[in-house]
Structure 1
């Protein structure tokens, strides 16, 4: 991310600065969860109804 910002905008930023900027923009760090390998189809279809765009728009 640091290299992208530096190459694209010509600005050097620290990791902390980038994390704070992304936080102000509404992005949050979330650890990955567990995979539903053996879950039943009804349970999986319930979670498929959610979309990331609902949380960021």
Structure 2
């Protein structure tokens, strides 16, 4: 019975969150996309530098 109660409670909470949540505006989406892209580029550059340093040494 605990599983059934837990499932119903989870569904109830999820419905409340979905009722309050809104889709991001275009400006927010663009900002998130730019930050994510910058992070990916930064991680790639750091990986490249480490790879080059280890290859040279």
- Could you state the TM-score of these two structures normalised by the residue count of structure 1? 0.24
- Could you state the TM-score of these two structures normalised by the residue count of structure 2? 0.24
Give the greater-gyration-radius structure (CA): 2
